[in-house]
Structure formats: structure tokens, C-alpha cells
Amino acid sequence: MTIRHTEHQRHDSPAPSAAASETKRPWLSRLLGSKRGNVLPILAASILPMAAMIGGAVDMSRAYMVKSRIQHACDAGVLAGRRAMAAGNYTDAAKAQAQDFFDINYKAGYNRTTNVVFNTNNPTGSSKVLGTASTIMPTTIMGMFGKETLDIAVSCEAELNLSNTDVTFVLDVTGSMADSIPTGNSGSIVKITALRNSVMSFYDTLANASVGSNARLRYSFVPYSTNVNVGELLYDANPQWLIGGNTDETWAYQTRRPIWSIPVTETEVDVDTETGEVIETYGTNLNIAKCQNYADNVNFNQADGWNFRPDPQGSPIVVENGDVKTTITYTAHTWNGQSQPWSGTNRRECKRKRTTVVETTTTTTTTTYVESPVWQSGATFARWEYGQYSFPVYDFLRSIKTANSAVAIPSETTGATSRWGGCIEERDTIAGSTIAYGSNGITVDGSSNAHDLNIDAVPSSNATKWRPYWEDVYYFRNDGTSIKNYGGGYTACPSKATLLATMTRDQVQSYVNGLITVGGTYHDVGLLWGARLASPQGLFQSTVNANPGNAGSVSRHLIFMTDGALTSYDFVASMYGVEMYDRRVAGGSTSPTQLERQRRRYLAICEAIKGKGIRLWVIAFGTTLTTDLQTCASGGSAYTAANSTSLNTAFQNIAKQISELRLTK
């Protein structure tokens, strides 16, 4: 539809009257109110404010970028400087390190900046490094308004903030640690020496990190081989935790005992008897009474005419001369030729019978011998008997203290004595094949009765007590031939373990210098006792949970270093006794092998350690970082070291991660 307007309609519109009215308004009012041709003057008037706004935004954006970059460089510089602080001193070298990191992170001329200045310092008595950085940035557009440069300045602060820290070293000190290894600088060094140096470097790093703080640092050490030396720790805690804590207690060792030949004297007496009888006239004029009385050994007077006088009256005459005994007996025989009974009153001839008995005694003494394991006076050594025999251990246990006497070695005949060195035989176990860590702790074939793998339980019976390891009595048998263990390297007892304690540098140095190398590589025993010494719920929890004296929490770390693969022997005396005979681990089975069972044991112990919130670090020194070792470690906590330099680096990296370097401002 089209709408048409007539001329009349156009003339009747209000537009002419509106235009007429505008002519009556002032010019400026009309200009402001006009909607025709006013864009250009408005644009011209707004150019300068708009230029200031846009230019300011551009320059401020550039300034923000410069400030962000210089702040980042400042942070990097103070962090580097704090790490480089030696013995808590902010040296020129540390300052140079800070400057280098600043320069790397802030390139000269960035965004045309000039006059870049970076300064650092270390406030006296603190562990902080403070820094300031500044620069001048030229503007681009704001210069049109008189602001040709912008001053940009930042501050930064870094602190190596160490919390209360407990570190337990589980160190492989087996025989191979006496071998040499490259230094990494065209030289060589004995492994145990490299380990000592690295431990001291680790100590220094944490000590430096703690300068100016009240953080508590504690260390414990568990050197291990086929055994661990924890006996004195157990004895000092409670002798009742050990077999031998009570009098008359014994422990059965795989050993030998002497068999004694004991003399037995037997006397045989042989008596040869000869008897003689003689009839003789006693009197010729005797009545019956006198013949009867005087003939029977009667005592008489020589005045009566008799030539014989018995003594005492009525008794036989006994004469002894050495082995010959002569007995003479007289009895009435006849009167008047008549045998008794006699009758009559006359005096007649009296005869008597003299009986002489001669006894000749021959004494023969002979000596025979009987064998017994019990020595008696006069006994002589006969032979050795090999097997499992029980020996008293009460006095042996106490011999670990120098104030107590050494004890005679029951497997010797020389009178030699020995003292308990401190190594142990483990508690009762189960010779199972499935070893796992779970909510019930470490189980063997689903049972929790493998007491040796129970990290925290306090002994409550003989089955749960530890037993003194007696190096001098172990023997094993091979085709009937006895071989003395400690004479051929079949026993090993490393240096004593220590409980968590604050230690001076000299104390740590003295300890690591005393480490000896001996025996084979039983990871299970080392990790097991590292766990027991570090556990907040275990035997030594009063030490582990001791108040640090500040409000800070405690971080717990276990550093496990080994230079070799797990080993397993059935013919040596270890913490499991002599497996060949005791069969505590494998039970005589070969599937899986003893080695495989011990491997499963140590991996379960690794999981138990991590389950206690202890960070487990692993270092493979001069050996392969196997999948098992990586599995053992906490996440991101496994290292390999091919030489002494990389060993030191590994310890340093661990120390730096333990010490929490952070920005505090």
C-alpha cells in the first residue's frame, strides 16, 4: 500500500513553525543542540585526552611486563644466593651466584630499560637473603605529556626454611664397599670412603640450612650386611626383650660341643683262703669244766702250765700282715678220749682243735672311660659333636657391657672367652612364600604371626624376643667336615646402630669413620631395623616422638643406600640363624627360592615404611637402579650414582629437597 501526501498536507505540517522558532535561539545553544555537522569539532576536542589514555595504557602495560620480569629475576637471584650460602655465611661467591641468576633472568635492555641495579644482603643472624632490583623504563606516548621515563623497583626475599627433621641412614656396609670406584675425575676412591664423604656433605647442607632457625635436626644410623648391630639398643631399652634377660635362659645354636672322656676306676678284690686244723693236747689232768672252758680260746695264766694265752678272752687270734690275714680259733675237742657230751668226775686228758685260716687278698684296680658332653674333673677331650645345642646366654648377654666379665666359649676347649658383639638372631617367623603389606601390617601367607616382620610389636613371649648372635659358636657341617663360621667369613656383625639424636659434625664424622665393611647384602634386615628405629609407633617411640622444643612439625626421612643387589645365603650365620639347618625363611623348600622370599620381604618392608609417612629415599651406588629399588622408594626419590662424585650429588639433591628453600616475600 502506498501513502501519498498532498501539498496541502505538507503546508499544514508543523515543520515550518519549528524551524522558525530555532532562529530565535542563541547561536551556541543552537550549535549544541544541532545534530548536523558537529562530529568534527567534538573529535578534535577529544584527541588529546584519548591520546593520554591510550598512551598511558600502553606504557603501563610495558611497565607491568618490566616489573614482572625484574621481580622474577630478583626472586631467582636471592634463591640462588641462599642456596650458595656456605656454613651460613653469605660470601662474595654466594653474592656472585645471585647476580649471575639475576642476569640470566633479566636481559640488559629489555624493553629499552636502563640503569638496572640488583643488590642482595644477608641480615646478621638470619638464614634469609634479601634483595632489591630497580630499573628505568622510557615511555613511548606519555613523553608527549612530560612523563619521559618510569622508575620500576621491586624487593625479594628467600629463606631456606628447614622444619624439624629426622633422618635415618640405612647404609650398605657389605664387603664390596671396600672395593674402589671411579671418582668421576680420572681417579678412584674406596667406596666406604666416598660414602663417608657424602654423608658429611649431606650433614653440612642441612646444617647450613638450619642456620638462624630453631629447627631440630636428628640422625640415626643403621649399617647393615647379613645382620644389624642393635643388641645394646635393645638391652638398654629392656633386657627382657631378649632371650637371656632372665637367669638360666638358653638359646639353641647351630654349633658343636666337646665330648669328654671321663675316667671311671674299678677295684676288684680276690681273696685266697687256706684252712688248717690241728688236734693238740690241751691238758692231761683236767676235769670236764676246765677242759671245756679253757679249750675255747679262754684266757689263762701261764702259771697254770699253759703255753698259750688268747687275747682277748674268748676271741680268735687275728694277725694281719699286709694282704695276709691269719685267724686262729681253738675249740674243745675230746676229754678222756670222748667226744662231747662228756660225763664223769675224774681228771683226764683234754684235747683241743686248732683251726688256722689264712686269707690272702689280691686287689686289682682298672680304669675305663665313658664319654659325656659335661666336663668333670680329670676328664680329657675325646671328640667334637656337631648339631643344634643349647647354651646358657644370661651371662653372655650381659657381657656386652665392659663392666661385666667375658664368658667362656662353650664350643671351645681352650678356655677362650668372648663377649656379645650386639648382633641378633631375629624373632620367630613363618617360612611362607606370600609376603604382603596391608592394614594388618606385614603378613606371611595371610598370617600376622611372622614376628620378625612386625615392626612395632614389643616382645611378650620367647617367640617374640630377640636372641643374642654368638659369632664364636657358629659351625656348619659339610659332608662330615666341620667349618668354623667366623674363621671363614661365615659370620658378619657390622658397626653399632644408633637411635635418633642431635649430633655435632665431629660426632657424625667420628661415627662414619668407624664404619667397617663385612658380610653380604641383606636389604631386608637393614630396612627392617631402619623402620624400627624411625617408627613413631614402635619400640623406640619415646625417642622418635620426643618434643622438638618448638611448635614445628617433624618430617621423617629414611635414606637407603646400597652398592649391590640383594643376596641370600643358606650356609652363613645371619639374623635368620643358619638357614641350611634352621630353615626359617624357606622351610626347606626351593620354590620360591630363599632369595625370592627375602626379596618379597624387603619390598613389603619398603611399603610399610612409606605407610608410616616416612619418605623413603633410595641410592644405587655403583650398581643398577633396579625396578625393585625404584619400587621401594617414595615417588621421585630414587637415585643412581656411578661414581663418588655422583654419589655426593645424590646426597646433596636429597638434602636440598629435605630443606625447603622457598620465597618468603
pLDDT digits (tens, 9 = 90+) for 499-540: 999 999 999 999 999 999 999 999 999 999 999 999 999 999
Statement: residue 38 has pLDDT above 70: no
High-pLDDT (> 70) share of the chain, %: 85
* The three grid cell numbers given for residue 595, joined into one nine-digit string: 632369595
Q: What cell does 113 get?
A: 630499560
Which pLDDT band, with edges at 50, 70 and 90, does 169 fall under?
A: very high
pLDDT value at residue 536: 97
pLDDT at 16: 46
What DSSP line would sit under 172-203, residue for residue?
E--GGGGSEEE-SSS-EEEHHHHHHHHHHHHH
Which CATH architecture describes the domain 164-240+456-462+491-615? 3-Layer(aba) Sandwich (3.40)
CA–CA distance, 119 with 155 (Å, rounded to integer): 10
State the average pLDDT over residues 373-392: 91
Please give the DSSP secondary-structure letter assigned to residue 581: H
Q: How does residue 354 score in pLDDT terms, banded at 50, 70 and 90? A: confident
Name the residue ranges covered by the structural domains of the chain: 40-158, 164-240+456-462+491-615, 271-363
**Mean pLDDT (whole number) for 578-606:** 95
* pTM of the predicted model over 0.85: no
**What is the reported pLDDT for 146?**
67
Burial class of residue 177 in the structure, from the number of CB atoms within 10 Å of its CB (0-12 exposed, 13-18 middle, 19+ buried): buried
For residues 304-308, average pLDDT: 40
Q: Which amino acid is at 401?
A: K
Q: Which segment of 56-60, 174-178, 299-303, 373-377 scores lowest on mean pLDDT?
A: 299-303
Residue 219 CA to residue 618 CA, distance in Å, equals 17
Structure confidence at residue 191 as a pLDDT band (50, 70, 90): very high
Residue 604 belongs to what H/E stretch?
helix 594-611
Look up residue 136 and give its DSSP letter. Answer: E
Is the predicted pLDDT of residue 4 greater than 60, yes or no?
no
Q: For 222-280, what is each residue's pLDDT tens digit? A: 999 999 999 999 999 999 999 999 999 999 999 999 999 999 888 888 888 898 898 88
**According to the model, what pLDDT value does residue 30 have?**
59
- Distance CA(230)–CA(244), nearest Å, equals 15
Calculate the average pLDDT of the chain. Answer: 86
What local confidence, expressed as pLDDT, does residue 636 receive? 94
Is the pLDDT at 495 greater than 90? The verdict is yes
Give the residue, 232 or 480, on which the prediction is more confident.
232
- On the question of pLDDT at 322 being above 80, the answer is yes
Please list the alpha-helical segments (H only) found in 439-577.
505-513, 523-534, 541-544
